[in-house]
Amino acid sequence: MAAGPEKGPEAFRTIGELAQEIGRPQHILRYWETRFSQLRPLQRAGGRRYYRPDDVALVRRIDALLSREGYSIRGVQRLLDAERSARRGRTDSLRALRDSLHGALSEDG
pLDDT in tens, 37-87: 999 999 998 889 999 999 999 999 999 999 999 999 999 999 999 988 887
What's the fold here for domain 13-108? Multidrug-efflux Transporter Regulator; Chain: A; Domain 2 (1.10.1660)
- Tell whether the model's pLDDT for residue 94 goes beyond 60: yes
Closest alpha carbon to 51 in 92, 85, 10: 10
What's the Cα-to-Cα distance from 93 to each of 28, 86, 96, 97, rounded to whole Å?
37, 11, 5, 6
- Are 14 and 21 within 8 A, CB to CB? no
The structure's pTM equals 0.73
